[in-house]
Amino acid sequence: MKKVLAFDIDQTLNIAKTPIPDEIADLLTRCLDHFEICPISGQKFDQFLIQIVDRLTDATPEQLSHLHLFVAQGTQYYRYNIEKKDWEQVYNFPLTDDQVAKITNAIETAAKELGYWEEDKLAPGDEIIENRLSQVTFSALGQKAGTEAKYAWDPDCKKREKICARAKELAPEFDYEIGGTTSINAITPGMNKEFGMTHMLEELNVTKEDILYFGDMTQPGGNDYPVVQMGIDTITVRSHEDTAYALRGILGVTE
């Protein structure tokens, strides 16, 4: 039997950038009694709290001790300290200032050349390019844009494929991955979900065969694809509804 259930977040556990729905919160809480639960996504730690942890209102400290947060594609890892009743960072692999500057320049230049730099559509105080320490993230309409606008911006990923291709020409030493609905994550090669999953194996002292992974971008070029390439058992979902369906099945045979 699997020991670990690992999850992409956006579009796998939720509607991109929003807190997980009640049903997913309930299913994850129940799963914490049977599995180590590992969300892994390009988001920042704060977003893991807002989107997942704060929604697990019924989870006990004992249950939370089985939740492992693999932040920024697993280049940062947080676990719950039962005694302190708080999250603690276990490791962090940040980019250098120079790397951040090079990536920012490449993506901004690419988006501007292609006419996809939508600065006029940003909410006050919002930003298109964000330094998430272990990666730099482009969000075409900013972090605060509405879900509908985000879905409409690049449903077939074509705009982002072009930005990625041009940015790769401008700063080829980095990798550019499409994620969420309007995002591109730029990382140093190897600092993708394979890096995170490899550290997950180490930190949880499990083998690949012990993990079942859920993701929505498992196609080549998608940010879940490195997990598939590692040979980890993967369930491709279209939305959190598919994930809920699978989790109900898993709990049906475990509980």
We find the least distance from the C-beta atom of residue 77 to Mg ion, in angstroms, to be 19
Decide whether 11 or 76 has the Cβ nearer to Mg ion. Answer: 11
Q: Rounded to whole angstroms, how far apart are CA atoms 171 and 107?
A: 9
Decide whether 45 or 117 has the Cβ nearer to Mg ion. Answer: 45
Q: Rounded to whole angstroms, how far apart are CA atoms 127 and 138?
A: 9
State the number of CA atoms in the 13 A half-sphere of 213 facing the CB.
Answer: 28
We find the least distance from the C-beta atom of residue 111 to Mg ion, in angstroms, to be 21
We find the least distance from the C-beta atom of residue 183 to Mg ion, in angstroms, to be 9
Decide whether 44 or 102 has the Cβ nearer to Mg ion. Answer: 44
How far, rounded to the nearest angstrom, does the alpha carbon of residue 184 sit from its chain's CA centroid? 11
Question: Strand 76-81 to strand 86-92: parallel, antiparallel, or no bridges (unpaired)?
Answer: antiparallel
Q: Rounded to whole angstroms, how far apart are CA atoms 207 and 171?
A: 35
We find the least distance from the C-beta atom of residue 143 to Mg ion, in angstroms, to be 16
Residue 219 to residues 177, 188, 190, Cα–Cα distance (Å): 11, 20, 17
Measured in residues, the chain has a length of 255
**What is the residue type of 245?**
Y
We find the least distance from the C-beta atom of residue 152 to Mg ion, in angstroms, to be 17
Decide whether 63 or 243 has the Cβ nearer to Mg ion. Answer: 243
Decide whether 112 or 238 has the Cβ nearer to Mg ion. Answer: 238
Q: Is the Cβ–Cβ distance between 105 and 170 less than 8 Å? A: yes
Select from 188, 133, 52 the least CA-distant residue to 177. 188
We find the least distance from the C-beta atom of residue 68 to Mg ion, in angstroms, to be 18
Decide whether 171 or 186 has the Cβ nearer to Mg ion. Answer: 186
Q: Is 234 helix (H, G, I), strand (E, B) or coil?
A: strand
Applying CB under 5 A, the residues found at the interface with Mg ion are: 8, 10-11, 216
